Structure 1
Amino acid sequence: MTGGTLQSLLEQSLGALFVGILVAAILLGITNLQTYVYFKSYPNDWLHYKLAVVFLWCLDTLHFVLAAHAVYWYLVMHFDEISLHLPIVWSFKLQLVLNLLTILMVQSLYAFRLWKVSSSQKRRTAAYLVIALVVCNYGMTTATCYFIYQVHAITDVQHYCWMIYSIYGTGILVDFAIVAAFCWTIAQHRNGHPNSDSIINRLIVYVVASGVLTRHVVRCPLHLG
């Protein structure tokens, strides 16, 4: 491998890994704080929501541990063996799977919440459409997890780029559908009173802002790729 190729590999791949693990550490700290605030602020919340929060926190923590192991494996244990033919370590594959599972879990919770707030049959039609998209995303995720374990070296990744873009594209589509369905469902509760309508408008802004943030986070792996 030439010096220029090696430098490019270090900057674009291993450099991204190093920056990514730093950002992941910060986000894990934010997740820990949010989890603490949730249990402190909502001690009487439904049990299944509490279990879901704990499960997501465990997934997020395990995801960070696996990512840290992968970074250590590449940057410390095998730094002198860096090449395009270096095998992809098991922890890197598993953290990708956990990332996809976390996205699915969050989308499933949003779909369930949407179904809960949809009181009429007309409103539940939107919820059913979102649930159908989430189920489709389950299929895409299953296929992607299979393909992840068909990749054994860095050079193999280019053969599966279409799958990477497909799964994240599907995730973005589901996010759009969730945001649109929530906004439409919430807007149906307007009753003409300024105070209540103002609260509903703020809820819509919050839902849209949350959806936009989610989509930007989901796009990060695409930009790094």
Structure 2
Amino acid sequence: MSTALDNTFGAAFIGVVVSAILYGITCVQTWFYFSDYEKDGLPMKLLVTAVLLSDTVHQALITHTVYTYLVSNFGNPVELGELVWSLIVEVLFNGFTALMVQSFLAWRIWKLSNGCIWRTGSVMTLVIGEFVCVVIYVSKGINLQTFAELTALKSLSMTVNAVAAAGDVLIAMFLCHLLHGARTGFSRSDSMINRLIVFTINTGLLTSLCAIASLVSIVAAPTTFIYISFYFCLGRLYCNSLLATLNARRALRGEAREDMSLSLQRMPNSPSATAALASGKQIAVNVTVDHERDGSDYQVDYKSSAAEAF
């Protein structure tokens, strides 16, 4: 019985504790965002507010779930086999959070790719597909009474996690490819782009790994709540990845606006220099050139605005 509790409600309890810690980080990041980015447009502020509200409701729901099982029904083993409504409804709010954050990232792909339909469309197909699966899961699960009945939705639960992981990986791949294609050949600019690529991989990696861990847990231990502990944290990771992306802009812009003057020897009217500076691949980096002819030298002052587009 002890082992069963460890793998079920014990795992759920750990999931709620970790989720609460991540929620605290979410609140701090939200405070930083509204303090440091007052000039952001209303749509962006509404997005952050909506994601925070969805995240807050989800945290309240999973707390209600665990409190009901471990406190209200303490010492009542019969009730432990019954489904609490909040355990099903919380899936919907995790879905809301993922929908908003992944849609924002899809919009960023659209912006960086100059409106590439197939890239944005493929991402949005997975994003919408995931949310549709979530809605179906909740609509079916809300009528169930016991955990034994919930096993009938195992395949649907696996689909939600698989599509979520696929969407996160695809988003990271597209963003990294677009940023890589924005290289100019200048070391300072390329160094900043490399940092953007690493940042993109790291923010997408956490949500992908969490979704994959939940998926593997369902397959390996379907009668436990280990997968639930991972899923409890998924929405919080989406929220924090969004806020980390938004809050990193000031630091990235500060780096981009540093003095990045280069002296290019013997390059007047050089086709290769012209191609490097006036490349049509200005997806994430816009290069502005001011040159003064001084015998054999060009003085090239440029600034990268990758952080602006990113």
TM-score normalised by length of structure 1: 0.89
Q: How does 1:16-95 map to 2 (within 5 A)?
A: 16-83=11-78, 86-95=81-90
Partner of 1:142 in structure 2?
135
Contact 1:85/1:155 (<8 A) preserved? no
Partner of 2:109 in structure 1?
114
Q: Select 2:8's aligned residue among 8, 13, 28.
A: 13
**Distance across 1 between alignment mates of 2:42 and 2:59:** 26
**Distance across 2 between alignment mates of 1:63 and 1:35:** 16
**Percent pairwise identity:** 32
Instruction: Give the direction of change, closer, same or farther, for the CA distance of 1:83–1:16 in structure 2 (3 Å limit).
Output: farther
Query: Larger radius of gyration, structure 1 or 2?
Result: 2
**Distance across 1 between alignment mates of 2:135 and 2:155:** 15
Partner of 1:3 in structure 2?
none
**Distance across 1 between alignment mates of 2:190 and 2:84:** 53
| Residues 1:161 and 2:160 aligned together | no
**Distance across 2 between alignment mates of 1:68 and 1:205:** 34
Contact 1:66/1:91 (<8 A) preserved? yes
What per-residue deviation string (whole Å, max 9, x for no partner) do you get for residues 129-171 of structure 1?
A: 2222223223222222223224321112222211111110010
Instruction: Give the direction of change, closer, same or farther, for the CA distance of 1:189–1:60 in structure 2 (3 Å limit).
Output: same
1 or 2 for the larger relative contact order (CA 8 Å, sep ≥6)? 2
Letter of the 2:184 partner, please give it.
N
- Residue 83 of structure 1: how far off its partner (Å): 4.2
Letter of the 1:112 partner, please give it.
W
**Distance across 2 between alignment mates of 1:186 and 1:44:** 26
Partner of 1:172 in structure 2?
165
**What root-mean-square deviation, in Å, do the aligned CA atoms of Structure 1 and Structure 2 show?**
1.8
SS in 1 for 2:202: helix
Partner of 2:211 in structure 1?
218
**Distance across 2 between alignment mates of 1:95 and 1:135:** 18
Letter of the 1:174 partner, please give it.
G
Contact 2:126/2:164 (<8 A) preserved? no
Letter of the 2:208 partner, please give it.
R
Contact 2:126/2:167 (<8 A) preserved? yes
Moved more, 80-89 or 129-138: 80-89
Contact 2:110/2:117 (<8 A) preserved? yes
Contact 1:130/1:181 (<8 A) preserved? no
Contact 1:84/1:154 (<8 A) preserved? no
**Distance across 2 between alignment mates of 1:146 and 1:217:** 24
Contact 1:70/1:91 (<8 A) preserved? yes
| Residues 1:105 and 2:100 aligned together | yes
Letter of the 1:100 partner, please give it.
G
Q: Select 1:126's aligned residue among 89, 109, 119.
A: 119
Letter of the 1:195 partner, please give it.
R
Q: Select 1:185's aligned residue among 150, 174, 178.
A: 178
Point out where structure 1 has 5 or more consecutive residues left out of the alignment: 1-5
Partner of 2:285 in structure 1?
none
Moved more, 66-75 or 6-15: 6-15
Instruction: Give the direction of change, closer, same or farther, for the CA distance of 1:154–1:84 in structure 2 (3 Å limit).
Output: farther
Letter of the 1:130 partner, please give it.
V
